Structure 1
Amino acid sequence: MSSKNYLFYPLILTTTTWTINHGLNLSSYNKYLKTLYPECMESNENRNVIVMMSFLILLIIQHPVEEAARQAFFNYLLPAKKFPKNSIERAEKAQMLSERVHKLIVYTTTTCLLYGILWNSPYLSKYLLGSSEDPQLFMNYPCQPLPKYLDDFYLLKLAYHAYELFYSMIYHRGRLDFPEYVFHHIVTLALIVKSYSINYLPIGAIIMLLHDLSDIFLSIFKLCCDVLPMKIQMTSYFIMLTSWIYLRMWFFPVNVIYAYILQVQDSKDYVILENYWILLYFVICLYVLHIFWFYLMIRGLIKRIRDFDSVIFKNSENK
Structure 2
Amino acid sequence: MCGVLVDSLGDARILSSQLKLDFAVLIGLSCCIPLLRFSLHRAAFQPLARRILYSSPVTKTTLVPAKTLNRVDKFCESLWKLTVYSVLLALGTYALHDQPWISNSNAFWEGWPDQSIPGKVKAYYAAEGAFYTASVFMLLLWEERRKDFWAMLLHHLVTFALITASYSLSYARVGSLIMLLHDPSDIFLEAAKLLNYAGLDPSATAAFAGLLCSWLLLRLTLLPFWVIRSCMFGVKDVLGYVPQYNIPLSGLLCVLVVLHTYWFSLIARIAWKQVTTGVASDSREDDE
TM-score (norm 1): 0.74
Give the structure 2 partner of residue 74 of structure 1: 50
Tell me whether 1:95 sits opposite 2:66 in the alignment.
no
Distance 1:115 1:159 in 2: 18
Q: Could you report, residue by residue, the CA deviation over 1:115-167 in whole angstroms, capped at 9, with x for unpaired residues?
A: 11112111112xxxxxx5x5420111112243233223323322211110012
Q: Deviations over 1:216-251 (max 9, x none)?
A: 122111111142432212111111211111211211
1:65 is matched with 40
**Percent of matched pairs sharing the same residue:** 24
More helix by share: 2
- In structure 2, C-alpha distance between the alignment counterparts of 1:135 and 1:101, rounded to whole Å: 38
The residue aligned with 2:146 is 175
Q: Look up the match of 1:205.
A: 176
The alignment yields a C-alpha RMSD, in angstroms, of: 2.7
Q: Helix, strand or coil: the match of 1:140?
A: coil
| Structure 1: segments with no counterpart, 5+ residues | 1-33, 126-131, 310-319
Change (3 A) 1:293 1:121: same
Return 5+ residue gaps in structure 2 as ranges: 1-7, 280-288
- What is residue 228 of structure 2 aligned with on the other side? 257
Q: How many residues align?
A: 267
Q: Confirm whether residue 138 of structure 1 aligns to residue 109 of structure 2.
A: yes
* Structure 1 stretch displaced more, 235-244 or 76-85: 76-85
Task: Give the corresponding residue for 1:218.
Answer: 189
Residues 292, 83 of structure 1: CA spacing in aligned structure 2 closer, same or farther, 3 A cutoff? farther
1:301 is aligned to: 271
Report the counterpart of residue 98 of structure 2 in structure 1. 120
Q: Is the 8 A contact 2:77 2:143 kept in 1?
A: no
SS in 2 for 1:199: coil
User: 1:199: Cα distance to partner?
Assistant: 0.7
CA distance in 1, matches of 2:57, 2:147: 26
**Partners in 1 of 2:141 and 2:115 — Cα distance?**
39
Q: Deviation at 1:35?
A: 5.2
Q: Distance in 2 between matches of 1:229 and 1:301?
A: 16
Q: TM-score, normalised by structure 2?
A: 0.82
1:123 alignment partner, SS class: helix
Counterparts of 1:36 and 1:184, CA distance in 2: 37
Residue correspondence of structure 1 range 278-289 to structure 2 within 5 A = 278-289=248-259
